[in-house]
Amino acid sequence: MAGAGVHASGLMGPLPEGWHPSGVEMNRSAEAEEKSLDLVQRVVISSIMCVVFGAPTVALAAYAPHRAQTSMGDAIGLWAMGLILGLAAAVGVLLFNRRKPWHPAFLLGLIPAAISAYWMWIR
């Protein structure tokens, strides 16, 4: 019987035209490999973006509260630049990972500025 094979149910019978189990297996593994590669690329680029944008954000936020070395106006300017850069970094990572920019995770970009604001005005 030409075209006979074992189906998923384990019964013998004719296979549908153009269907081959190894072809389905190859498509699934190719899709899984593509998804895995896409995930790895997004994680690597997101990590690079966090370091490239995060380091200046943390540096600005750390330097802003030192009022002995800067005037209050300069400290506020440094704080504002750190705030904007932190939000831009968070939104950039979200957009690269196919999320909306107003996703709640964008608030993570505010953490350095919030800590700096505590040291500048509350403490």
Q: What is the pLDDT of residue 9?
A: 52
pLDDT in tens, the chain (123 residues): 455 555 555 555 565 565 555 555 557 777 777 778 888 889 999 999 999 999 999 999 888 888 677 788 888 999 999 999 999 999 999 999 889 988 998 899 999 999 999 988 887
pTM: 0.68
Q: What is the pLDDT of residue 111?
A: 93
3-class DSSP string for the chain: CCCEEECCCCCEEECCCCCCHHHHHHHHHHHHHHHHHHHHHHHHHHHHHHHHHHHHHHHHHHHCCCCCCCCHHHHHHHHHHHHHHHHHHHHHHHHHCCCCCCCHHHHHHHHHHHHHHHHHHHC
Give the domain ranges of the chain.
19-122
